[in-house]
Structure 1
């Protein structure tokens, strides 16, 4: 039976086993990882279900039943990993799960199979304790967070989220507490011209020139949108990320496509931002002869912010010194997105992000998605202890 003395070995074993499964996104292929994790959670005493969300892609939904007279606590982690990239830049096999110098190496060890293992073993410890909690402990391990969040979207679309009083996302934070993240709006802009020989400027319409002017207008419009300074997040940003156009040097390009990454803060309303971007493109018709263009949203995630004075945050902070050796005060905000944004589209639930993976939030140094990714075994142990104690405190 799982107990505190065996928890370290179990979290190391589970992390290594998950790292060895190549759940690379794209295409995902998370089903084998989901089946392995579901088997372990069932062995811990959870009711488990493997829910297929697409071909060879699946979520794990596991529940440890409480008495039903208190709110549930959910842990949400993802099973997919980004590609390893150029293998010559790795000093180890990215899918071997090697252990050295107190670390587990491999793609996904930090982001975030180590976090998934820690939350699962913590749940196993709670089940093994025999304590009957008031509320349910729900563990979801999902597909697709590294791209379109197909797994969490699938779960949210099919479940009301009623009765869930708190959510923990074990993303990489080096065990620091995160209570806010920026929103995300990805835009695709297309401009259309008329092709001709490059010397026939009087006949052709240059789609790239129209795109350049349009992007200047979009950036100007974005910078005019007001916002309230956020205590946990840096100011909103715009990144003109890609631009593709033209087919030949001696031809006037008749099409150009650009993508833009906007990162709003919680005080900025997404519908107003999207409307302003549409107005910027529509306004080019009166500024450029023959202008034809369009803009569309290709990815959107709402920001989230949990009240730092909430009982959930205070509970987590109170456990920091004894379980993690950290005060967890003040908490942090992050500029990247997690699946917290997907839950926020349906219901406002107090949510924290805290995980064993490597991310120095003070210096903005992130180890995930890089060669020779690793997670410290000491951090896996501490995260497991924190998740266990938080679950007991929340559900008792």
Structure 2
């Protein structure tokens, strides 16, 4: 919004707006915004530890702040330790309802040592911006918790307070919401249960169980002042490669890695096939709308195989986990995952007799355009499910 001139009309036809804000009201709202208070709120909220699965303290802070400011807060959660917080303002007469939302959790190392040491270097984990926020010498707010996403959250909280302080009521209702679980995670395999749920108990739960009925919703995020009304979803695939355990002293290693009984040796051709498919998918799946350009992305997120303490016979199974950032038009019944058939064929040729299975988790995006990027679903021979098992 910073690039939009102050004189730019909010509506294509200003006469169609249900209400015209007067210059006096603009001045009253501006006078009611205390910049120092905004900075202090962002810093205090941002410095509350709130990794995904640990959002309670930040939720309690937001709830208490809303209570002190008269926004009638309540908590709605699948479990008490990971609540959504909902405050409200306005609703004095018939009118359109608006909902603001932002998330309480921030991406960072999990704090679980046995997981983090396989994802991050020690120097990366030592970066203070993961969990700390401060105002630097140049007057800039620093720290990931502020940029994603408690800074934008603080902005709409202070904006609502400014309306109230300026004595400007709202006909329609405005909900102020703070959600857990935006960063994730996803329940996958043995990592199951509430602790590994993200959006299911966050914004998704809020809209279905929070007693809110907005006509419009604004997700406040750090977007470099960009504005979009298009939501991208994603799909996560597990590609398993099967082989045969072979006692190391009797193993006769083949010349070609593609013929090796240990499936770890065959990861190279699989990754090459996935990478080639991903480049094609990204290039052919760009969506351009009035909201801007959506460029899908593909990346291998994880690899599992074998057990370092159980050596002597290799492993019979290894798996790759692939994130496919995609988009789906709102009215289409199936997720946008792209055509994986060429990728499957390439992997099958490289792996000869090996078997592949593909299990899908999907988070479906939405778009105002009826067009979809999905040319087809995976071929029927692949095992596809809507949730990890």
Shorter-chain TM-score: what band? Answer: 0.5 to 0.7
Alpha carbons 1:195, 1:204 under 8 Å: kept: no
Which one of the candidate residues 105, 110, 128 is aligned to 2:147?
Answer: 110
Alignment-derived partner of residue 317 in structure 2? 255
| Corresponding residue for residue 207 of structure 2 | 156
The equivalent of 1:207 in structure 2 is 263
| 1:10 aligned partner | 37
Superposed counterparts of 1:212-227, under 5 Å: 212-215=268-271, 223=280, 227=285
SS in 2 for 1:262: strand
Q: 1:306 to 1:33 in 2, by over 3 A?
A: farther
| CA pair 216-135 structure 1, distance change in 2 beyond 3 A | same
Q: Which residue of 2 aligns with 1:343?
A: none
Alignment correspondent of 1:59: 84
Q: 1:158 to 1:89 in 2, by over 3 A?
A: closer
For these two proteins, the number of residue pairs brought into alignment is: 302
Q: Give the superposition deviation at 1:31.
A: 1.4
- The aligned counterpart of 1:140 is 177
Once residues 88 and 284 of structure 1 are traced to their aligned partners in structure 2, the CA distance between those partners, rounded to angstroms, is 39
Aligned to 2:357: 294
CA distance in 2, matches of 1:171, 1:191: 39
TM-score by structure 2 length? Answer: 0.64
CA distance in structure 1 between the aligned counterparts of 2:224 and 2:335, rounded to whole angstroms: 35
**1:294 Cα deviation from its structure 2 partner:** 1.5
Pair 1:277–1:270, CA change in 2 (3 A) = farther
Q: Structure 1 residues 283, 95: CA separation in 2 closer, same or farther (over 3 Å shift)?
A: closer
Deviation at 1:195, TM superposition (A): 1.1
Q: Does 1:23 align with 2:50?
A: yes
Q: Deviations over 1:71-97 (max 9, x none)?
A: 21111001112237746544x895364
TM-score (normalizing by structure 1): 0.63
Provide the residue aligned with 1:387 in structure 2: none
CA distance in 2, matches of 1:224, 1:8: 45
Which sits farther off after the overlay, 131-140 or 239-248? Answer: 239-248
Distance 1:94 1:275, change over 3 A: closer
Are the structure 2 counterparts of residues 275 and 20 from structure 1 closer, same or farther at C-alpha, using a change threshold of 3 Å? closer
Flag structure 2 segments of 5+ consecutive residues without an equivalent.
1-28, 110-122, 185-197, 371-389
Higher normalized contact order (CA 8 Å, seq sep 6+, divided by chain length):
1
More strand by share: 1
- Map 1:112-191 to 2 at 5 A: 112-147=149-184, 148-149=198-199, 150-159=201-210, 162=213, 164-191=214-241
| Cα distance in 2, alignment partners of residues 93 and 300 from structure 1 | 26
1:256-295 equivalences in 2 (<5 Å): 256-266=318-328, 271=334, 273-274=336-337, 276-277=339-340, 281=344, 290-295=353-358
**8 Å contact from structure 1 (residues 221, 276) kept in 2:** no
Distance 2:312 2:336 in 1: 38
Residues 162-189 of structure 1: CA deviation (Å, up to 9, x unaligned) = 4x22211221123332333533222121
- Bigger mean CA deviation after superposition, 289-298 or 203-212: 203-212
Q: Distance in 1 between matches of 2:130 and 2:297?
A: 36
Question: SS at the partner of 1:119?
Answer: helix
RMSD between aligned residues: 3.8
What SS is found at the alignment partner of 1:189? Answer: strand
Structure 2 CA distance for aligned equivalents of residues 304 and 266 of structure 1: 7
